[in-house]
Amino acid sequence: MRVYLDNAATTPLDKEVLKEMYQVMESQYGNPSSIHAHGREVRTVIEKARKTVAGLLNAAPSEIFFTSGGTEADNMAIRCGIIDHKIKHAITSRTEHHAVVHTLEAMEKSEMIQLDFVNVDSKGNIDFDHLEQLLQKDTERSFVSLMHANNEIGTLTDIERVGELCEKYDALFHCDTVQTMGHYRHDLSKLKVHFVVCAAHKLHGPKGVGFIYINHRVKIKPMIFGGSQERNMRGGTENVYGIVGLAKAMQMAYSDMDEHQAHIQQLKSYMKSELEKNIPGIEFNGETDSDKSLYTVLNVSFPEMDMADMLLFNLDISGISASGGSACSSGTNIGSHVLSAIGTNPNRPSVRFSFSKFNTKEEIDYTINKIKEVCLVNA
């Protein structure tokens, strides 16, 4: 049996999304920048997708720009937002994705900004009093980058509250929404945010495509220069088939969101309770209450054991795919920066299990049984 529980890293491509993409691949091959009929036809496909995405987010189509994925979108928001608005002070947390932390640290190293890290507690929650102190620290405008849900431990941040604070102190607010786009509803006409981002492969869409939302009140210059694509905001011929897949995946996610959330939350809660019953001394990283935690992620710290570094390998041998942290850091011997930031015991092996609409209770039962076997052998 093969069980895929690494959906926070990437999700399986939905067959309906593939079908939609294939129809365009097969018949609509013109360059969308060409003015002839073949080009105009493809341009229409892209703009239809843009309207679909914008409509779901209650945004204007002119606020949606397609990118190669979440990392590019994060970099664009951070680098262009800071440089073009001449901002010298940025605030983030040590639990952000490396696409955010590394970008800001590189800018600080180049002496472009002063970077501050807001405190987080042992569950990964933002210290809002400290955030306000940091916003008050500089008389000039600040740039705040805080994610909606942590990709490793699943803790949700009250981004409405962050937005209110940013508005109070006239700060630009960038929110990494890669893990929650298509899993929660975002009303961008009400949320006080300047930038949000998406990677299609996190919601059963294709890899290599995403988007950035740029609030119409914010003006920035392109990060990638070339042609006049994306209304002069991103050079390079558009990933037409990816864009079509992204829009279809978003559309499907929104139409079935409540049903899928209930199903996935049930699987997560069931796995948590079964682990507590069967593995003495087990702990969970991040928030686990349903209203405070991303329902697709369960991060588990197992008891100290012999050959703890082999836990993921043994699970893989048993046919179970999971992650030891952020997939973007897999293959390195550096521990998770998120688990380190919240003070998790480094001697306890931690595994992130992440779920999708395609997972079943039978898969969870199989996984629990294999975990019991592995823990018994290594006890």
Which residues participate in catalysis according to the annotation? 328
Ramachandran assignment for 154, one of left (phi > 0), alpha (psi -120 to 50 degrees), beta (any other): left
Residue 324 token pair:
């030891």
Single-letter amino acid, residue 86: K
Name the burial class of residue 192, with classes exposed (0-12), middle (13-18) and buried (19+) by CB atoms within 10 angstroms of its CB.
middle
Q: Answer for the pair 290, 267: CB distance below 8 angstroms, yes or no.
A: no
Buried b (16+ CB within 10 A) or exposed e, 209-238: bbbbbbbeebebebbbeeeebbeebbeeeb
The half-sphere exposure of 335 on its side-chain side, counting CA atoms within 13 A, is 14
Measured between alpha carbons, how far is residue 336 from residues 29, 97, 325, 346, 351 in Å?
A: 43, 11, 6, 9, 11
The C-alpha atoms of residue 55 and residue 51 are separated, in whole angstroms, by 6
The C-alpha atoms of residue 250 and residue 70 are separated, in whole angstroms, by 15
Nearest partner of 154 among 265, 314, 308, 68, judged by Cα = 265
* DSSP string covering 334-356: SPPHHHHHTT--TTS-EEEEE--
Strands (E), the chain: 3-4, 64-67, 89-93, 114-118, 142-145, 172-175, 195-199, 210-214, 283-285, 297-301, 320-321, 350-354
Q: Answer for the pair 324, 351: CB distance below 8 angstroms, yes or no.
A: yes
Measured between alpha carbons, how far is residue 17 from residues 21, 200, 237, 261 in Å?
A: 6, 11, 21, 19
The C-alpha atoms of residue 280 and residue 353 are separated, in whole angstroms, by 18
3-state secondary structure of 300: strand
